[in-house]
């Protein structure tokens, strides 16, 4: 108690006088030299997360941060609002899979922490609970990462993890008896598929679940497991070791796929974060022979992205070959020739082809201009394409895996927007008729949520390119420069900031009058392949420069001012936010680096780093090494600079962004900033990159947002009076 009181006294004193007493972050001389240039890194010692001094540093930082965050007004009110909205939201059903008349899905009831696994016989059959992640291990909250039923629907592989680790355990259940077989497969990257005889599963084996081991995800193997057999007998059927002639890289994920609709072939993929597919195929008769004579299905130079489906002897895929907004093409499966592929759906001038899925007789083609989506129907027998009239406007999601049942022409579609939660429909593709979904119903929100305005503008970037910017704010908001504003973006992997109802931001606008700004920066693909490539590797600087240009626009047009503006970047968005504030610290009052890549030069030496080299680059290449340096927020922290307030967030079990990445950035900021504004290192010991557990998720987001609002001077988020009075 005495220790806590002293800490709180320190917090109040340092808050009042602009100086925070952080747990010490030592500086150790270390450096890396690449191509004649030496890059100093005084915090590289943190990368040894087995070292007790490193573990201790994180714990001390976490305790210090929690002591401050727990004393903020508004934090608990945020959580209460989200819980209230959650209870108003009907049951959420996701991941529907259809096998032999049985539907399998995950269902989360209002107020439940995590979803449970169910099945029903037919769409209108009685619901049967298969797996409850809250009771399977007493006292533990598990998360269902995925589930894969056998082709006959009689068995199901359940993949679950704990604490956001994302390295699942696999258990095999008999659906009729609801009993698991005795064996457990671990550690893994999940189940890929079942064999056609329904007796075995193919899964991707991981060397180790240790997220501090940079070699754990190298040279992975797809293994064959016979249900009921000891896992020590599982056989490596596809890997760099079994097929060295395919020249797959150690960082790749070698994955297999067996497709019931194409029983004469087995398919394989060399997976990384690179969007361009590398695929192989072979006769199914060779599977189990001890050696498969793989043929090339596609290679990166074919420029195939987003989706690929073999249908009736053809292979369909999306390409950006001579089509920056993408087009749909097909080639014979018997002899793939993508350079001379037949165009099924040509490129559209002002819309990008986002996705296509299959029903029994049709393909559904999903297009978007970044704000509004359209849907087209392609008749597989006639080759005719026409546009379908959608029931409502918004961001469209088609259930990707063959509309969950390609034996019919029914398909589930959902619509959402920045201002409206998801509404789901059942589409009869043949008759073009939409009806309310029998699975998911829209949420009934309080009246206050109907009084938001969405504005879409374009902002001139640093190089004259026009950057789309979406702005959300409450009706009656005055553009007098006095509004608190939260700006959030991503800009990587070609992932667009597509409209969707993000309750954490929407509630801030509704309840607290915060302006929400969503820049569509380069590195996404709102404007097609060129938009993605303009924020990629050597052009990555456009990502954070676009973000800063949007900040300038918001200030110039009266939405906010620098002392009221905060920025938020998550995961790869950590590059965006860490470089935005190190390049233009004058633009922001606060920044959130949430499980963020803030030390890009060291990314490839982390647990998940090698597989991300295709997106960001490697220090082993002279040009890409320099590009990584430009992306690296920690490398650009300069002593005695007036930086905004910063909260860095790490998930202790995070397999994607290891805690030392945001940790090193926080340490550098704490030692360098002269602004007197706080720099906190929040550590979630019950979380990974994210979690389905709502109790953990709510607390995590409430801390981040309350911190940013506090530092932007929002009156609802200041220190509690009892703290200020100490």
E-only strand ranges, 555-712: 565-570, 590-594, 645-651, 679-684
Q: What is the pLDDT of residues 51-83, one digit of tens each?
A: 999 999 999 999 999 999 999 999 999 999 999
Estimate the share of the chain in helix, then strand, then coil, as percent rounded to the nearest 5. 25, 30, 40
What 448-453 contacts at long range (C-beta under 8 Å, 24+ apart), as own/partner pairs, is 448/510, 448/511, 449/419, 449/506, 449/510, 451/475, 451/510, 452/419, 452/506, 452/509, 452/510, 453/477
Q: What is the mean pLDDT of residues 602-617?
A: 96
Six token digits for residue 647 = 């909260």
E-only strand ranges, 220-299: 221-226, 235-239, 253-258, 265-271, 279-283, 295-298
Three-state DSSP class for residue 306: strand
Using 50, 70 and 90 to split pLDDT, how confident is the model at 370?
Answer: confident
| Domain ranges within the chain, ordered by starting residue | 348-442, 451-708
* Amino acid 16: pLDDT: 31
The answer to whether 164 and 156 have CB atoms below 8 angstroms apart is: no
* Amino acid 264: pLDDT: 96
* Amino acid 72: pLDDT: 98
**Strand-pair partners of 12:** none
Using 50, 70 and 90 to split pLDDT, how confident is the model at 724?
Answer: low
Q: Which helix (H) or strand (E) holds 51?
A: none
Q: What is the mean pLDDT of residues 335-363?
A: 96
| pLDDT value at 568 more than 50 | yes
| pLDDT value at 723 more than 80 | no
Q: What is the pLDDT of residues 642-697, one digit of tens each?
A: 999 999 999 999 999 999 999 999 999 999 999 999 999 999 999 999 999 999 99
Classify the C-alpha dihedral 147-150-151-152 as positive or negative.
Answer: negative
| pLDDT value at 1 more than 90 | no
User: How many C-beta neighbours within 10 Å does residue 481 have?
Assistant: 16
Q: What is the mean pLDDT of residues 189-204?
A: 98
Sheet arrangement for strand 314-319: 304-311, 314-319, 327-332, 342-345
User: How many C-beta neighbours within 10 Å does residue 7 have?
Assistant: 15
Mean pLDDT of the chain: 95
| pLDDT value at 3 more than 70 | no
* Amino acid 331: pLDDT: 98
Burial (CB count within 10 angstroms: exposed 0-12, middle 13-18, buried 19+), residue 118: middle
pLDDT over 70, % of the chain:
96
* Amino acid 657: pLDDT: 98
Closest CA to 118 of 109, 130, 108, 126: 130
Six token digits for residue 61 = 């930082």
The answer to whether 275 and 523 have CB atoms below 8 angstroms apart is: no
Query: Strands 590-594, 352-358: parallel, antiparallel or unpaired by DSSP?
Result: unpaired
**CA 567 – CA 488 distance, rounded (Å):** 6
Six token digits for residue 628 = 């990584």
Q: What is the mean pLDDT of residues 201-216?
A: 95
- Which residue's entry shows tokens 């409209």? 499
**CA 390 – CA 51 distance, rounded (Å):** 57
pTM of the model: 0.95
Using 50, 70 and 90 to split pLDDT, how confident is the model at 6?
Answer: very low
User: How many C-beta neighbours within 10 Å does residue 447 have?
Assistant: 6
| pLDDT value at 280 more than 60 | yes
Q: What is the mean pLDDT of residues 21-46?
A: 97
* Angle, CA of 132, 138 and 142, to the nearest 5°: 50
| pLDDT value at 504 more than 50 | yes
The answer to whether 188 and 170 have CB atoms below 8 angstroms apart is: yes
Six token digits for residue 304 = 């195939």
Using 50, 70 and 90 to split pLDDT, how confident is the model at 403?
Answer: confident
Burial (CB count within 10 angstroms: exposed 0-12, middle 13-18, buried 19+), residue 60: middle
Q: In the 3-class helix/strand/coil scheme, how is 449-508 assigned residue by residue?
A: HHCEEEEEEEEECCCCCEEEEEEEEECCCCCCCCCCEEEEECCCCCCCCCCCCCHHHHHH
Superfamily (CATH) of domain 451-708: Alpha/Beta hydrolase fold, catalytic domain (3.40.50.1820)
| pLDDT value at 15 more than 60 | no
| pLDDT value at 10 more than 60 | no
The answer to whether 144 and 117 have CB atoms below 8 angstroms apart is: yes
| pLDDT value at 390 more than 60 | yes
User: How many C-beta neighbours within 10 Å does residue 259 have?
Assistant: 17
Q: What is the mean pLDDT of residues 529-534?
A: 98
**CA 533 – CA 523 distance, rounded (Å):** 6
Q: What is the largest CA-CA distance in the chain?
A: 79
| pLDDT value at 725 more than 70 | no
* Amino acid 7: pLDDT: 41
Using 50, 70 and 90 to split pLDDT, how confident is the model at 402?
Answer: low
Using 50, 70 and 90 to split pLDDT, how confident is the model at 19?
Answer: low
Q: What is the pLDDT of residues 314-348, one digit of tens each?
A: 999 999 999 999 999 999 999 999 999 999 999 99
E-only strand ranges, 109-141: 116-121, 127-131
| pLDDT value at 12 more than 50 | no
Using 50, 70 and 90 to split pLDDT, how confident is the model at 400?
Answer: low
**CA 472 – CA 502 distance, rounded (Å):** 12
Closest CA to 256 of 218, 205, 213: 205
Using 50, 70 and 90 to split pLDDT, how confident is the model at 290?
Answer: confident
Using 50, 70 and 90 to split pLDDT, how confident is the model at 614?
Answer: very high
**Strand-pair partners of 31:** 40
Using 50, 70 and 90 to split pLDDT, how confident is the model at 11?
Answer: very low
């Amino acid at each position: 108690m005495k220790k806590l009181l002293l800490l709180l006294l320190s917090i109040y004193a340092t808050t009042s006088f602009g100086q925070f007493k952080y747990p010490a972050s030592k500086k150790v001389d270390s450096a890396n030299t690449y191509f004649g240039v030496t890059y100093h890194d005084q915090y590289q010692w943190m990368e040894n997360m087995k070292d007790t001094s490193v573990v201790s540093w994180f714990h001390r930082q976490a305790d210090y941060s929690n002591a401050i965050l727990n004393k903020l007004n508004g934090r608990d009110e945020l959580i209460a609002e989200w819980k209230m909205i959650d209870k108003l939201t009907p049951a959420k059903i996701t991941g529907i899979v259809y096998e032999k008349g049985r539907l399998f899905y995950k269902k989360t009831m209002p107020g439940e922490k995590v979803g449970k696994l169910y099945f029903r016989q037919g769409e209108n059959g009685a619901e049967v609970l298969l797996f409850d992640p809250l009771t399977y291990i007493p006292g533990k909250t598990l998360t269902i990462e995925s589930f894969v039923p056998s082709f006959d629907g009689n068995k199901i592989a359940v993949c679950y993890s704990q604490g956001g680790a994302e390295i699942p355990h696999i258990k095999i259940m008999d659906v009729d008896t609801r009993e698991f077989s005795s064996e457990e497969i671990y550690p893994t990257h999940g189940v890929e598929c079942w064999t056609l005889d329904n007796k075995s599963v193919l899964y991707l084996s991981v060397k180790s679940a240790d997220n501090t081991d940079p070699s754990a995800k190298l040279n992975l193997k797809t293994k064959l497991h016979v249900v009921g057999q000891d896992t020590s007998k599982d056989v490596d059927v596809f890997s760099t070791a079994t097929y060295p002639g395919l020249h797959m890289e150690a960082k790749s994920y070698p994955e297999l796929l067996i497709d019931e609709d194409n029983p004469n072939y087995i398919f394989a993929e060399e997976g990384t974060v690179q969007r361009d597919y590398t695929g192989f195929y072979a006769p199914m008769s060779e599977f189990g022979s001890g050696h498969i004579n793989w043929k090339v299905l596609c290679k990166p130079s074919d420029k195939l992205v987003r989706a690929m489906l073999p249908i009736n002897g053809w292979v369909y895929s999306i390409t950006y070959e001579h089509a920056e907004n993408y087009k749909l093409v097909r080639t014979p499966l018997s002899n793939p020739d993508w350079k001379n592929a037949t165009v099924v759906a040509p490129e559209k001038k002002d819309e990008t082809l986002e996705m296509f899925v299959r029903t029994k007789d049709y393909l559904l083609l999903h297009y978007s201009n970044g704000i509004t989506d359209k849907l087209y129907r392609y008749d597989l027998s006639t080759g005719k394409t026409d546009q379908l009239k959608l029931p409502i406007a918004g961001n469209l999601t088609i259930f990707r895996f063959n509309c969950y049942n390609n034996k019919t022409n029914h398909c589930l579609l959902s619509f959402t927007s920045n201002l409206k939660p998801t509404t789901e429909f059942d589409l009869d593709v043949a008759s073009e008729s939409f009806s309310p979904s029998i699975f998911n119903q829209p949420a009934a929100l309080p009246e206050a949520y109907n009084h938001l305005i969405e504005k879409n503008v374009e902002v001139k970037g640093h190089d004259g390119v026009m950057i789309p910017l979406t702005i959300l704010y409450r009706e009656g908001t005055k553009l007098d420069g006095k509004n608190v504003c939260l700006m959030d973006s991503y800009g990587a992997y070609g992932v667009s900031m597509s409209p969707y109802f993000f309750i954490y931001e929407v509630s801030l606008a509704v309840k607290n009058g915060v302006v929400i700004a969503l820049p569509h920066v380069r590195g996404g693909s709102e404007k097609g392949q060129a938009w993605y490539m303009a924020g990629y590797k050597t052009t990555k600087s456009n990502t954070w420069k676009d973000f800063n240009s949007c900040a300038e626009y918001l200030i110039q047009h009266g939405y906010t001012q620098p002392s009221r503006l905060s920025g938020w970047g998550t995961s790869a968005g950590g590059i965006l936010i860490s470089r935005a504030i190190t390049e233009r610290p004058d633009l922001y009052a606060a920044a959130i680096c949430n499980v963020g890549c803030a030390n890009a030069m060291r990314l490839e030496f982390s647990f998940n780093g090698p597989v991300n080299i295709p997106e960001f680059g490697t220090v082993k290449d002279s040009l890409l090494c320099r590009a990584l340096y430009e992306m690296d927020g920690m490398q650009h922290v300069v002593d005695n600079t007036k930086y905004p307030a910063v909260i860095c967030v790490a998930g202790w079990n995070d397999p994607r962004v290891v805690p030392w990445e945001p940790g090193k950035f926080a340490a550098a900021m704490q030692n360098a900033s002269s602004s007197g504004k706080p720099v906190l290192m929040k550590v979630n010991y019950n979380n990974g990159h994210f979690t389905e557990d709502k109790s953990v998720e709510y607390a995590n987001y409430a801390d981040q947002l309350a911190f940013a609002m506090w530092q932007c001077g929002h009156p609802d988020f200041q220190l509690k009076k009892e703290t200020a009075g100490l």
